[in-house]
Chain A
Amino acid sequence: GQQVMQIPQYQHVQEGEDFTTYCNSSTTLSNIQWYKQRPGGHPVFLIQLVKSGEVKKQKRLTFQFGEAKKNSSLHITATQTTDVGTYFCAGHRRSNYQLIWGAGTKLIIKP
Chain B
Amino acid sequence: DAGVIQSPRHEVTEMGQEVTLRCKPISGHDYLFWYRQTMMRGLELLIYFNNNVPIDDSGMPEDRFSAKMPNASFSTLKIQPSEPRDSAVYFCASSLEGRLAGRQETQYFGPGTRLLVL
Interface residues of A (CB under 8 A from B): 30, 33, 35, 41-45, 48, 88, 90, 92, 97-99, 101, 103-104
Contact = CB atoms under 8 A, between A and B. Distances in A.
Given A48-B106, A104-B42, A42 B111 contact: yes
B108 interface: yes
Interface of B: 42-43, 45, 48, 56, 91, 93, 98, 102-104, 106-112
Judged by DSSP, the binding face of A is strand
B101 to A, nearest CB: 9
Nearest to B44: A101
Contacts, number: 41
B43 A88 contact: yes
A42 B112 contact: yes
A33 B43 contact: no
A97 to B, nearest CB: 4
Contacts of A42: 91, 109-112
A69 B53 CA distance: 31
Nearest to A6: B42
